[in-house]
Structure 1
Amino acid sequence: MKRIALLLPLLCLAWAWPAHALQVTDDRGVTVTLAQAPQRIVSLLPSLTETVCELGRCQRLVGVDRYSNFPAGVQKLPQVGGGLDPNIEMIVALKPDVVLMATSSRAGERLQALGLKVVALEPRNHADVQRVMLKLGQLLEVPDADRIWRAIDAGVSAAAQSLPAGVRGTRVYFEVNQGPYAASESSFIGETLARLGVKNIVPAKLGRFPKLNPEYIVRANPDLIMVGQRSADGLQARPGWQSIRALREQRVCIFPAEEADVLVRPGPRMAEGARLMARCLLDKAPKGAKP
């Protein structure tokens, strides 16, 4: 009997301890421990929202940032502000098991101080998209996350293979926002352009998304311009831009808002973004471009 009495506290401790706690190290280098895969998730970054859904766990989202709009079903969820200015009280009220956010957000410490688990992940290039996919697969206990990533990567390769040799070497300017802010060679978008075999006029040394002097684009004289509808107004009216070859020859692809979202988010719709760029190149690129 004494032996049983001694064992009882140990048995109680064993029952209280989670069968297999989850540990994930995020992009801050912080190791986050959860008793089990999270069932209630708040996402504060559209690319993370889309990745959760691509992994088949969309139903676990209980709140998203104001910019998360894909898949369509997430638009019905409570919006908790932006990634940089989230509504802390609203997030706490949703009682999430974990909050997913960008490393650039300053809300992490406040949320952690209130007892919430925070996982900060920020995909910025193709390798990051793969890493975040696998990391969230680990967190959400999705065993085939690597297979999902391979299918996405294969889709980008297929888009590149769909282009004829004459399109390769086209000199492209991709504007992500008015300013103008451009996507350089070192950006996620620049990596996609490189895989399609075209030349980005904005070098990596300027940073991922540099704000350019409009005269820089005039001097670079791209063969083709890619721009979202939100930023397309007034291109012809910019000083000196009438002389740019792409504008003179009407080689401009203007992407509607829905397509622009696909292109500028480093997430699971990467292959779709590559197909949109490939379609633009097929339609607008001068044939016989040289590297």
Structure 2
Amino acid sequence: MKRLLIGWLLLAAFIAGPAGAAEPRRIVSLLPSITEAVCALDACDRLVGVDRYSNWPASIAGLPRLGGMDDAQLERIVALRPDLVLAAPSTRVVERLSALGLRVVTLQAESQEDVRVALRRIATLLGRPERAETLWAAIEADLETAARRVPAHWRGRSVYFEIASTPHAAGAASFIGATLARLGLRNIVDPGMGPFPQLNPEFILRAGPDLVMAAAQPLAEMPRRPGWNRLAALASRQTCAFAPVPYDMLVRPGPRLGEGARLIADCLAALPAPAR
């Protein structure tokens, strides 16, 4: 009976075909930053399902959880009868959902300009294009406020921002890198290396960043990595360690970019001046 029901749902979705230009009323978001964008554009009430990692704002807590980019639950998504599915291009079920006739829009956001374009796209899909500009203006205002709060002795200093202990870094070409640059910091990973490259640990040790930023747990473990006790920033605690919830905000290319910048500025303001 369950298989029969799933079959009818899939058939119904295929027959219905993709929605036209009408504003979507039943949206599935398969990426946390997209969920945040929909809500920041005042359309949280249109969400009928989200990925497992979406956790902001609190109002989405009761929504169905539909897996992640590698294991999104096709049958459950179809059963929700969405008229729009928003996802990353690398989400595995994108092609299958499209083949079933569902309207699927993919959004890539690696740079800050990508984020701005994605917000405009989502706002247009929601029938509220003007709200994207208002939202971006608020983000810009937060970035400017954060930049003014950075102590002068940190401007021009080098920074390593780790996003995975493999180690992968947020490079200058990433949306995180753009925020760091806006705050006057110099990324040890130049734009030509890509937005989120995997680095040879020796590269980081040779670069000798003045400042290290990462999630709290990996940062606490860094001194135990081979050779990393040579990093002066770790020895002198010139570090920004972010708890899980604020770290989520920092590494998501969504509407809370400005809040993330303020968080980094707060850390810099609390640190002593670097020795060199």
TM-score above 0.5, yes or no: yes
Q: Which of 122, 135, 141 does residue 154 from structure 1 map onto?
A: 141
- In structure 1, C-alpha distance between the alignment counterparts of 2:165 and 2:215, rounded to whole Å: 10
Q: Which letter does structure 1 place at the counterpart of 2:257?
A: M
Does 1:247 find its partner at 2:239? no
- In structure 2, C-alpha distance between the alignment counterparts of 1:272 and 1:205, rounded to whole Å: 27
% identical aligned pairs = 50
Question: Which residue is 1:67 aligned to?
Answer: 53
Between the two proteins, the alignment pairs up a number of residues equal to: 258
Q: Which of 24, 30, 51 does residue 44 from structure 1 map onto?
A: 30
- In structure 2, C-alpha distance between the alignment counterparts of 1:225 and 1:55, rounded to whole Å: 33
Provide Cα deviations, 1:93-115, integer angstroms capped at 9, x if missing partner. Answer: 00001000011223211001112
Question: Which residue is 2:261 aligned to?
Answer: 274
Question: Which residue is 2:5 aligned to?
Answer: none
Q: Which of 210, 232, 252 does residue 219 from structure 2 map onto?
A: 232
Question: Which residue is 1:81 aligned to?
Answer: 67
> 1:165 offset after TM fit, Å?
2.2
- In structure 2, C-alpha distance between the alignment counterparts of 1:181 and 1:139, rounded to whole Å: 33
1:168/1:196 contact within 8 Å kept? yes
> 1:144 offset after TM fit, Å?
2.6
- In structure 2, C-alpha distance between the alignment counterparts of 1:128 and 1:82, rounded to whole Å: 21
Q: Which of 111, 125, 138 does residue 139 from structure 1 map onto?
A: 125
2:19/2:84 contact within 8 Å kept? no
Q: Which letter does structure 2 place at the counterpart of 1:72?
A: A
Alpha carbons of structure 1 residues 287 and 251: separation in structure 2 relative to 1, 3 Å? closer
The 5 A counterparts of 1:98-117 are: 98-117=84-103
- In structure 2, C-alpha distance between the alignment counterparts of 1:75 and 1:230, rounded to whole Å: 25
> 1:287 offset after TM fit, Å?
4.9
- In structure 2, C-alpha distance between the alignment counterparts of 1:138 and 1:33, rounded to whole Å: 15
- In structure 1, C-alpha distance between the alignment counterparts of 2:51 and 2:217, rounded to whole Å: 20
2:155/2:185 contact within 8 Å kept? yes
> 1:194 offset after TM fit, Å?
0.5
Greater per-residue helix proportion:
2
- In structure 2, C-alpha distance between the alignment counterparts of 1:105 and 1:154, rounded to whole Å: 32
- In structure 1, the gaps of 5 or more residues are 1-31
> 1:75 offset after TM fit, Å?
2.4
Alpha carbons of structure 1 residues 287 and 241: separation in structure 2 relative to 1, 3 Å? closer
Over alpha carbons, which structure has the higher Rg? 1
TM-score (norm 1): 0.85
Q: Which of 236, 256, 259 does residue 246 from structure 2 map onto?
A: 259
- In structure 2, C-alpha distance between the alignment counterparts of 1:288 and 1:250, rounded to whole Å: 11
Question: Which residue is 1:10 aligned to?
Answer: none
Provide Cα deviations, 1:58-95, integer angstroms capped at 9, x if missing partner. Answer: 01100001111111222211011102321000000000
Question: Which residue is 1:15 aligned to?
Answer: none
- In structure 2, the gaps of 5 or more residues are 1-17
- In structure 1, C-alpha distance between the alignment counterparts of 2:172 and 2:273, rounded to whole Å: 21
Q: Which of 88, 108, 117 does residue 122 from structure 1 map onto?
A: 108
Question: Which residue is 1:190 aligned to?
Answer: 177
